[in-house]
Structures are given as C-alpha cells and as structure tokens.
Structure 1
Amino acid sequence: MTRGTEIANKVAAFVRETVAPYERDPRCSAHGPSDELVHELRGLARTAGVLTPHILADGSHLTHRETAQVLRAAGLSPLGPLAVNVMAPDEGNMYLLGKAASPEQKARFLDPLVSGEARSAFFMTEPATDGGAGSDPSMMLTTAVQDGNHWVVNGRKAFITGADGARVGIVMAKAEEGATMFLVDLPDPAIRIERVLDTIDSSMPGGHAVVQITDLRVPADQMLGNPGEGFKLAQIRLAPARLTHCMRWLGSCQRAHEIATDYANRRHAFGKPLIDHEGVGFMLAENLIDLKQAELMIDWCADVLDTGALGTVESSMAKVAVSEALMRIADRCVQVMGGTGVTGDTIVEQVFREVRAFRIYDGPTEVHKWSLAKKVKRDWRDSQRPQES
C-alpha cells in the first residue's frame, strides 16, 4: 500500500464515521459552519491523527498525486475538508506560504494554519460594481504605496472567502512595480467587512465577504516575495488550488452518487426498484463514467505538477473538464432522487449547490476555455514558422 493510499484510507474512515454525523448540526449555517464547530471537528481530527494530513511532520508536502487521494477522501463530506484542515482557502494559502514565505513569515503566518488553530483569507478579487479585478487581475484597483518602512494599502475586495473570522490574510494590491502581495494579521481595524454575501454555497466558514481596506499599514518585512511579483505568486497558488478544488468535490460527488445509488435500489415504483428503470439506471451508469474520467484528469494534471512544471494550462483543462463533469453527476443524483433530492434530508442538495458555485470559483469555465483557445492560436502560429535546417 502506498503512502498516499494509506493516509487517504485513514481520512476516509474518519470522515465517514466521525464527521458525516455532524452534517445536520445546527451550527452549519448559510454562511458556513461556525468556528465553534470547526474547532470541535479539528480537535477530533487531531486525536485521530488526520489533521492537515497532506503536510508531513517534517514540513514537506505529499506529492500532488498523493494529495489527490487524500483530498478526495476528505471531500466525502462537505465538512470533511474543514475537519482535517485541507479546505480552501487555507489549503492553497498554506501551499503558497510554504513555497514563497521567509522563515520568519512561516513561523508567524504559516504555522498557525498548519496546526489548524487559525483560518486565513486571500484578498484578490474586487467588486464588479467598482470595475475592479475579477477574472482579469490586471484590472486591480487596490493600491499599495510605500511610506518609509511600511506600505499603505487602500481599496475594496469582494468574494473574500473566510474573511469573517480569519486570523491570517494575504492581500494583493497594485504598487508602482506591479501587483504585490502582503501578509497581515487579522482582524485589523483598517480592514472592514462591509457585508457577507448570500451565496448558493454554504460549506466555507465565514462565507464570502465584501471588504473595505482603508489606510492599512503593513511593515515592509510582511511583503510576500518582492514588489511586482504578485501575479507570479498568484499562479504558484492558483494552479494547484484549481486542482485541489477538483479533488475535494470529486469526493463529494462520489458520496452523492453513493446516496443516489442506495436510494435507487431501495425505492420502488411501477413494480420494480428505480434502478431497474433504464432512465434511472443509465443516469447512474453515466455517473460512473464521469467519476472515472474526472479521477483520471485529476491524476494526469497532478503528475504534471509533480514534475515541477507550473501546470497552468493543465490545471485550466482539469478545472473545466472536472467541474463540468461533477455538475452533471450532482444534477443526475438530484434527478434520481426526485423530491428527496432537493431537500436537506441528504447532502445531495448541498453538493449540487456547491458544485454549481465551483464552476465559477477559481475561474469560470469560459475564462479557462478562452485562455486555452489563446494557446491553440499560439501553437498554430508557432507551427507556421519556417523550421531551421
């Protein structure tokens, strides 16, 4: 048994046996599970030896392929990634800090995340009403101006997952040198949550906030990397993060498929089990195909990342293929279960909502296709150039 499989099996057992019973806990709200519930679940994970399982005791990470196994197991419940501390945005922020932070920054900002004692937020997206950065980060309006040994940041951010209750913030702003990232302690009076948006998903603590940043003073030694490196650092974070989203939601859709399959075998109509009706049985068969294709796409992209390549093209391809496949799976599960599928009696309804949001988060399908189309054009142009003899 490989290291990844062994850890994944342990995580899967913990999520199925210990975490799943909490899915109807009243501390799960429209804006995500409460911090009290997260703290309780992480305590259980710590006792079970599965807290932050993708980062080893020596600080090294599992390979991306091994991480895929573990995060898929964590995703078997919407609460699983939170319980074992592999949920977005924390998982992606831990990865970025592990790659780019100084030793002093890691001790101050990364260690509390790895231990599961703190949550984090990534401040990049800006309100569309302001004309700020969304899918096009070059439109960033938030500014950073140097003032002696500090930087002063001003602007507004939107869809900031987990800002309410986070202790660690990564803020991107536009300096004279270009986009730049800063590490900040939260809460900070200069960062004010205007409102937490009402969205269709509900799995992330703190929800998604609109935030006003007014004269935030950040010491120069809390800059991540160098001035103007913000976009480069964002790609270090976002390429793997797109894939880890796929990993987690693949696990959730696997569980939804299990629930729908159980329902179709137990529920009878017109003289036989639902699964014996082709209309139902074929939907579940199509789920199997999409589940396997999503798994293979994730593993392929993980292998590319494990070679040390940045993998932006591959992660875009995986994000499109997997998110669209998972949407089909979740939709079929709801359809198989009929009225029960649109109730909160099972997690199928929530998985459907979460995956619908996932098709937009970390880049909508259409933006990734547009990026891939530009690559197709570049490759064609390169193929037309005369070859050197």
Structure 2
Amino acid sequence: MDFTISPRVEDFRARIARFVANDILPVEARPEAWDAHGNIAHDWMAPLREKARDEGLWCLQLKSETGGQGLGRVGMAVCYEEMNRSIFGPVIFNSAAPDDGNMMVLEQAGTPEQKERWLDPIVRGDVRSSFVMTEPHPGGGSDPGMMATTATKKGDKYVIRGHKWFITGAADADHFILLARTSDDPRRGLTAFLHHRDDPGWRIDRRIPIMGPEEHGGHCELIYEDMELPADRIIMGEGMGLKITQMRLGTARLTHCMRWLGLAKRCTEIAQDYAANRHGFGIRLSDRESIQIKMGDLAMEIEVGRLLVMKAAWALDQGSFAKKEVSMAKIHVANLLHKAADVAIQINGARGYSKDTVLEWIYRYARQARLVDGADEVHQMVLNRHLGEEGRDFWRWNVGDI
C-alpha cells in the first residue's frame, strides 16, 4: 500500500485539527460543559455540531449521496485520529459510536425506504441510534450464535421476546437495530430488525453503572416482551442477521481503533508538556533518561498502531473483509490506549491522577477498549485460526499485476 494521502484527505485532516484546537478543546476545558456521565452536555454539543456541519466536516464516513464526503476507510483513519485529540471530538462530527457504525450499515444494506425513514434522521443529527445485540448469560455475546432473543413469525408480523444488556446509547436513542433468532440454522438463523423508541412491547430495565465515562445514552439493559414488528422492518431479509453483524462490526472495530489512536496521542501530548516544564532534584523531567525511554517507547507503539490501522483500512477499501488485519489492530490499539494513559499519568504524578487533566478520564475509558467489540482473547483466537488455516501464508505479501 501507498502511505501517502490525497490532498483532499489532508485538507479535511487539517480543518478538523483546527476545529478541535480552536472550538472543541476550549469547551472540553470548561467543567460546566460536562454532563453527569462524563461526556459533553447536550446544550454545549448542539452549537458545535451545527458549526461542524456548516464547515463541511459532518459525517465524513458516508457517501456524498447519503450526506457525507466519501473519504473511504483510509481517509477515515486519518481524520478520526485527528478528531479524537479531544475526548468530545467524534460526537461533534457525527462520527461517534454507535451512530457511526449504524449509519454505515444502513447505508450499505438498507432499502431506499429504510434509508429515508431510519438512516436520514441519524445523518441529519435529529436522532441517535443503538445496536442491540449483546445478551446476558446464556445468550449471545462475542458469539452471536448463542443468541437467545427470538423473533417468531405470526401472520405478517414478527413477535420479539428477549433480554439484552450493555446496549450502548440506548437511553438516548430513537432508532434501534435489533438482532434476534428466527431459526436454528447456524448461518441463517439470525435476523436484523429496525424499531423505534415509541414501538410498544419493550423497555429499558436499567442504565448499567460502569467504571468509566459513558457515551451519550449509557449502556443499558433492555427487555423485549412480545414486541410486534412488520416484515418491512427487516434489514436485507430474514436470516441475514449474521451478515449484518459482520458488515457492521468489522469496520466499527477499526473505527474504534482510529479514535483511540487520537486519545493515545493526546496522552503523550499532556505528558510531554508536563515533563518539559516540571523540575525536580535540579533537572527537568524531560531530561531524565527514564522519561525519555518511556516516551520513545510510547511513540513507537503509537506508530505501530497507526500502521496496523492503516493497513486494515486500506484492505477494507480494496474490498477485503480484513478480518486478520482488523483483529491485530484491535488487540494492539486497545492495549496501547491503556498503556498511553498509564504512562502519562505516571509522568504527571498526582496531577495525572486528578481531574485537572483528562488523563484519568482516558484511563478509566481505556479499560473497556480490551472488551468492546470482542475481547482481546476472542481476536487472538481469530488470529490463531487463520494461522492454522494459512500456515506460512499468514504473512504473505499481496502481489500486484505490474
């Protein structure tokens, strides 16, 4: 792959960098701009989103006909990393999870009627959305084949019964993509449905308290009790739910990594600034070899992460499912984010542990990175499976025509 980016992508990156520096970081620094769950408050978020839309920095990940800029996965990698210099960044540009992944899967798989009703309002920023898949034991988690929520056909409708949990954004969402079992077929047994907050037959049982800060709408436990949905709420057709999860989660895992790289770089930025200005025992922290080793190692690990993410993004743009590449990026960058926050806190000392910087926020947030969209161990098993199937070809180079 060619590691140069187009002038168009660089233009978006530079404009995003200026927007984050000039408009978002000053808001992040204001305690009154935070909500009770550790995110930007809605009344502070709205004007920033409007300005991002006016400046053409909105939904860059989508096609132009959908309301985006059609940057492709490589362009997204460049821009998402820049957005998440601020912890508030992605949501301002309408590129935050779970809306990000939901919009991309609806753009790819929805009918024209479904796009008009379910996708367009998310693109406009009028509503938020949620992806309803994970279940408590003994239901489906990392293994969707264990899905216990059922959708039973009754005439021209489907009756949904089940229990879901850790559903990101559910408390603030109006549009939901729901996975349920319609048969016992191992490959065609799951179906994806669309439903609205106002549809009867379901409820949010609780907003689950977590150790870290939350996305808007939290992580919720949902109960479905005989919800009835018409057949036109199905995405791609009955039995295509596993395909929908594969379409959505592959890219979604990588977009997490893109954003996490931005946070990791922010950690180094805070650490560098403090080390350059803090003196002790007659010497600046930044002049100590121990600090230089920590910072040099962190810089290298971030660059390794960027290369893994960019390779996976490039492979996706070439039409590959990029399963190996995405899994490698997910494992490395998730662990990198935790390491970057830990190192930066250690360098900042008590200041890093306090709320005077965003390091403690990133540290608490980073622990979930090794769990969301597949735990480290799941992705390691995926890589081992590929290694067993491919042998030495696991590391093969793709050969071009010329």
Distance 2:63 2:321 in 1: 22
Which residue of 113, 125, 136 maps to 1:127? Answer: 136
Change (3 A) 1:242 1:352: same
Deviations 1:214-266 (A, max 9, x none): 11111101100111111111011111111100001111111121111101101
Distance 2:267 2:125 in 1: 27
Retained in 1: the 8 A contact 2:148–2:162?
yes
Distance 1:186 1:345 in 2: 38
Match of 1:28 in 2: 35
Q: What TM-score, normalized to structure 1?
A: 0.93
Which structure is higher in RCO with an 8 Å CA cutoff and minimum separation 6? 1
Distance 1:158 1:33 in 2: 24
Change (3 A) 1:36 1:169: farther
Amino acid paired to 2:237: N
Match of 1:319 in 2: 330
**Alignment partner of 1:258 is 2:263:** no
Retained in 2: the 8 A contact 1:196–1:210?
yes
Match of 2:181 in 1: 174
Instruction: Write out aligned runs for 1:7-26 (5 A).
Output: 7-23=12-28, 24-26=31-33
What secondary structure is seen at the aligned counterpart in 2 of 1:181?
A: strand
What secondary structure is seen at the aligned counterpart in 2 of 1:214?
A: strand
Retained in 1: the 8 A contact 2:73–2:317?
yes
Runs (5+) with no aligned partner, structure 2: 1-5, 395-402
Distance 1:231 1:44 in 2: 38
**Alignment partner of 1:5 is 2:10:** yes
Residue 61 (structure 1) shift: 2.6
Change (3 A) 1:381 1:55: closer
Residue 161 (structure 1) shift: 0.4
Which residue of 44, 62, 66 maps to 2:71? Answer: 62
Change (3 A) 1:92 1:210: same
Which residue of 318, 330, 345 maps to 1:334? Answer: 345
Instruction: Write out aligned runs for 1:288-307 (5 A).
Output: 288-307=299-318
Q: What TM-score, normalized to structure 2?
A: 0.91
Retained in 1: the 8 A contact 2:39–2:88?
no
Match of 1:154 in 2: 161
Amino acid paired to 1:8: R
Residue 26 (structure 1) shift: 4.6
Instruction: Write out aligned runs for 1:1-389 (5 A).
Output: 2-23=7-28, 24-30=31-37, 32-59=39-66, 61-128=70-137, 131-176=138-183, 178-380=189-391
Aligned residues, how many?
Answer: 381
Change (3 A) 1:350 1:175: same
Deviations 1:17-46 (A, max 9, x none): 111122233542226444444334312322
Residue 323 (structure 1) shift: 1.4
Deviations 1:134-180 (A, max 9, x none): 11111111000111221111101111000001011000000025111
Amino acid paired to 1:174: R
Retained in 1: the 8 A contact 2:268–2:344?
yes
Distance 1:329 1:113 in 2: 33
Distance 2:32 2:48 in 1: 12
What secondary structure is seen at the aligned counterpart in 1 of 2:152?
A: strand
Percent identical: 37
Change (3 A) 1:270 1:381: closer
Deviations 1:34-90 (A, max 9, x none): 444433431232233322223353336311100101111111111100111100111
Distance 1:220 1:10 in 2: 44
Distance 1:202 1:154 in 2: 30
Match of 2:399 in 1: none
C-alpha RMSD of matched pairs (Å)? 1.8
Match of 1:387 in 2: none
Distance 1:56 1:179 in 2: 28
Retained in 2: the 8 A contact 1:41–1:83?
yes
Change (3 A) 1:125 1:277: same
Deviations 1:334-384 (A, max 9, x none): 11111111111111111122221111101111111012112222224999x
Runs (5+) with no aligned partner, structure 1: 384-389
Distance 2:198 2:327 in 1: 33
Residue 93 (structure 1) shift: 0.6
Change (3 A) 1:379 1:56: closer
